[in-house]
């Protein structure tokens, strides 16, 4: 990345980098967009500070990086169905996304990436953690990797840990079919289509069991994997500021929004980009 039209500064040894010296609100050359996508592939999640991206510009940027899709449970903001508010208001106690997960793995074609921009942030707290799922897979024993190669995880939109985190948004901004159940099976280990690397692809928020096994039979191995895949040495932590933007690769990274700002307001906006069938 030494010849990229911006500076790349990793924020941990495992995952994440801040990109400096770039204004995302401008009509960026194709080469710069390609360099941003390469930084995402290299670091799994990339961050930008002080970006002026009102909804129209935010959506235009997303369209340069992929194909925006609507979130299945929450309506988009006025005039922009592909942009949803990710909010926690002063009186609310549960935050959106407050559990380790990869976005919407209960879809047959889960999203490739997610863009999240900060509109209002609390004085303290409200950080987001990210975890590298390449490392989570690569640090497993050979025998366990062999076992996982034949397993598929069953993801459900109704798993309690996740469904609770979106209740406030469904109550105020829910889509007409916000209560529908979505279920999908995906390999427990997926191969990234662009990098060719293998990543662990189960998550605490959505994976309920392995296909062909009961939840009770699946639970011990899943619990081990859920704990293993968020080891501190696989993670980074991002402190939000107004106008900060994160873009993460859902195929190989998980994230967790920390709920440590009681009585304060946090308003973000999110766009997800279409993905493909995990393999």
Per the residue annotation, which of 37, 43, 82, 103 is the catalytic one? 103
In angstroms, the CA 33 to CA 14 distance is 23
Per the residue annotation, which of 37, 169, 255, 266 is the catalytic one? 255
In angstroms, the CA 7 to CA 126 distance is 26
Per the residue annotation, which of 37, 43, 82, 101 is the catalytic one? 101
Alpha carbon 4 to its chain centroid, in Å, reads 25
Q: CB-side exposure of 26: number of CA atoms within 13 Å? A: 7
- 101 belongs to the catalytic site: yes
In angstroms, the CA 94 to CA 105 distance is 21
- Enumerate the H helices of 119-233 as residue ranges: 133-138, 142-148, 160-163, 167-173, 215-228
- 177 belongs to the catalytic site: no
Three-state DSSP state, 218? helix
- 270 belongs to the catalytic site: yes
In angstroms, the CA 90 to CA 88 distance is 7
What DSSP element (H or E) covers 56?
helix 55-65
State residue 238 phi and psi, 5-degree precision.
-115, 130
Rounded to a whole number, what is the distance in angstroms from the first to the last CA of the chain?
A: 28
Per the residue annotation, which of 166, 169, 251, 270 is the catalytic one? 270
State residue 131 phi and psi, 5-degree precision.
-135, 135
Q: Which residues are catalytic?
A: 101, 103, 255, 270
């Amino acid at each position: 990345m030494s010849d990229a039209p911006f500076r790349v500064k990793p924020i941990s040894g495992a995952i994440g980098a801040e990109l400096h010296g770039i204004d995302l609100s401008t009509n960026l050359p194709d080469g710069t967009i390609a360099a941003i996508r390469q930084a995402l592939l290299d670091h799994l999640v990339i961050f930008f500070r002080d970006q002026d991206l009102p909804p129209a510009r935010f959506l235009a940027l997303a369209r340069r990086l992929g194909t925006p899709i609507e979130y299945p449970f929450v309506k988009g903001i006025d005039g922009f169905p592909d942009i949803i508010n990710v909010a926690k208001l002063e009186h609310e106690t549960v935050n959106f996304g407050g559990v380790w997960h990869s976005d919407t793995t209960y879809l047959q074609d889960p999203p490739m990436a997610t863009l999240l921009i900060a509109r209002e942030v609390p004085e303290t707290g409200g950080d987001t953690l990210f975890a590298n799922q390449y490392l989570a897979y690569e640090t497993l024993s050979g025998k366990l990797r062999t076992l996982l190669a034949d397993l598929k995880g069953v993801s459900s939109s109704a798993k309690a840990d996740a469904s609770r985190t979106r209740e406030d948004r469904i109550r105020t901004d829910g889509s007409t079919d916000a209560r529908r159940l979505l279920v999908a099976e995906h390999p427990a280990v997926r191969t990234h289509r662009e990098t060719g690397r293998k990543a662990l692809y189960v998550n605490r928020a959505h994976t309920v069991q392995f296909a062909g096994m009961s939840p009770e039979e699946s639970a011990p191995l899943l619990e081990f994997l859920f704990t293993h895949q968020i080891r501190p040495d696989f993670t980074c932590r991002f402190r939000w500021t107004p106008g900060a933007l994160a873009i993460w690769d859902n195929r190989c990274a998980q994230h967790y929004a920390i709920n440590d700002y009681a009585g304060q307001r946090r308003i973000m906006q999110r766009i997800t980009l279409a993905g493909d069938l995990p393999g």
